């Protein structure tokens, strides 16, 4: 009898626990429902806005590039600025011929230079002073522009300048005057207005004005006389001929050979070359004076 009473009491306790768990679950379901605001009956339903992720601008590479430029040496920053001033051109009308366009270099403010090259001129006094004192840069107090040695605008002014230098003008001094200066120089050469020759010592091109009064025609007899002259084959004989004409040779072959014999070193005999007729393909000694050898076989 006691066992039956214990079992009945145990069943009653389980029923009470199940009812308690059911009530707790019901209360949790009521509290978890979202609260909606009361809306008017006729109010249109507004769709919920989707949540957009926040975007951040990725300027890390650009900022690193700017920082590397501004921390670079003064010379490197000046190079960037001068290249900018040299390359950027503006089309303008010629003051002489209003129908013809000429190119002039663009002037930049410090702010424009900073936007293009990231060189902060106002923030770096060393760069500012170096640009202001550079011979290739013109500064008018507000803008910077490229300054060539000779201020030329076209082929006509180029020819006028070359004619002022009868003893020759180095091409390096005018090659940056304006973008098409080298093309105009070749055009003047083709037209016979100038001579464009190479300096054998400095390896630089020199341009000379061609005086129309100096143009001469070489007779056939003189051309034949030039062809008939035979130069000595031995260097010693060539040096003797130079001495006879009052010219001091740059070499002393006789002295060099005597020293070689004293030291027991015999000079190697040179193989005689067959004399060839001068043709257009013959390499001439006076290659820097091509006008003397034009039409040799005509």
Fold of domain 62-92+104-146: Arc Repressor Mutant, subunit A (1.10.10)
Among 15-24, 74-83, 138-147, where is mean pLDDT lowest? Answer: 15-24
Residue 99: pLDDT over 50: no
Domain residue spans of the chain? 62-92+104-146, 155-209, 220-259
- The two three-digit tokens of residue 11, written as one number: 């069943």
Residue 6: pLDDT over 80: no
Give the DSSP letter string of 73-107. -HHHHHHHHHHHHHH-EEEEE-SS-TTSEEEEEPP
The better pLDDT of the pair 137, 218 is held by: 137
* Long-range contacts (CB closer than 8 Å, 24 or more residues apart) made by 124-127: 124/70, 124/74, 124/77, 126/74, 127/74, 127/77, 127/78, 127/81
Amino acid 93: pLDDT: 43
pLDDT tens-digit series, residues 245-264:
888 888 888 888 888 887 66
Confidence of residue 42 (pLDDT cuts 50, 70, 90): low
**Residue 178, Cβ density class (10 Å: 0-12 exposed, 13-18 middle, ≥19 buried):** buried
DSSP letter, residue 1:
-
pLDDT tens-digit series, residues 101-138:
556 778 899 999 999 899 999 889 999 999 989 988 98
Q: Strand pairing of 89-93 and 169-170?
A: unpaired
Amino acid 159: pLDDT: 92
How many other CB atoms sit within 10 Å of the CB of residue 223? 17
- Nearest Cα neighbor of 171 from 264, 287, 162 is 162
Same fold, 62-92+104-146 and 155-209: yes
Rounded distance between C-alpha atoms, residue 75 and residue 126, angstroms = 10
Give pTM, 2 decimals.
Answer: 0.45
pLDDT tens-digit series, residues 262-291:
766 555 665 666 665 555 555 555 555 565
Q: What percent of the chain clears pLDDT 90, i.e. is strictly above it?
A: 13
Q: Per DSSP, what are the bridge partners of residue 208?
A: 195
CATH of 155-209, one of 1.10.3470, 2.40.50, 1.10.357, 1.10.10: 1.10.10
- The two three-digit tokens of residue 90, written as one number: 């503006």
Q: Which letter, b or e, does each residue of 157-167 get, where b requires 16 or more Cβ atoms within 10 Å of its Cβ?
A: bbbebbeeeee
Please provide the average confidence, as pLDDT, over all residues in the chain.
76
Stretch 169-189: mean pLDDT, rounded? Answer: 88
Q: Which letter, b or e, does each residue of 207-222 get, where b requires 16 or more Cβ atoms within 10 Å of its Cβ?
A: bbbbeeeeeeeeeeee
Confidence of residue 64 (pLDDT cuts 50, 70, 90): confident
Amino acid 144: pLDDT: 92
Stretch 209-236: mean pLDDT, rounded? Answer: 81
Residue 43: pLDDT over 60: no
């Amino acid at each position: 009898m006691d066992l039956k009473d214990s079992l009945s009491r145990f069943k009653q306790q389980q029923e009470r626990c199940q009812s308690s768990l059911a009530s707790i679950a019901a209360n949790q379901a009521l509290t978890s429902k979202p609260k909606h605001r009361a809306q008017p009956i006729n109010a249109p339903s507004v769709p919920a806005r989707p949540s957009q992720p926040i975007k951040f601008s990725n300027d890390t590479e650009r900022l690193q590039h700017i920082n590397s430029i501004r921390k670079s040496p003064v010379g490197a920053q000046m190079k960037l600025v001068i290249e900018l001033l040299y390359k950027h051109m503006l089309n303008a009308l010629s003051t002489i011929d209003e129908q013809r366009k000429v190119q002039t270099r663009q002037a930049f403010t410090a702010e424009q230079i900073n936007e293009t090259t990231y060189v902060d001129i106002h923030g770096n006094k060393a760069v500012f002073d170096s640009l202001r004192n550079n011979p290739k840069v013109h500064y008018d107090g507000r803008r910077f522009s490229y300054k060539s040695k000779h201020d030329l605008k076209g082929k006509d002014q180029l020819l006028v300048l070359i004619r002022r230098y009868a003893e020759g003008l180095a091409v390096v001094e005018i090659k940056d005057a304006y973008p098409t200066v080298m093309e105009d120089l070749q055009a003047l050469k083709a037209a016979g207005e100038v001579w464009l020759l190479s300096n054998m010592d400095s390896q630089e091109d020199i341009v000379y004005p061609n005086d129309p009064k100096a143009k001469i025609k070489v007779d056939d007899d003189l051309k034949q006389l030039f062809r008939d002259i035979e130069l000595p084959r031995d260097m010693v004989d060539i040096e003797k001929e130079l001495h006879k004409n009052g010219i001091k040779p740059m070499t002393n072959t006789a002295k060099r050979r005597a020293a070689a014999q004293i030291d027991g070193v015999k000079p190697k005999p040179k193989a005689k070359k067959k004399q060839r007729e001068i043709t257009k393909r013959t390499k001439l000694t006076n290659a820097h004076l091509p006008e003397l050898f034009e039409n040799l076989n005509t």
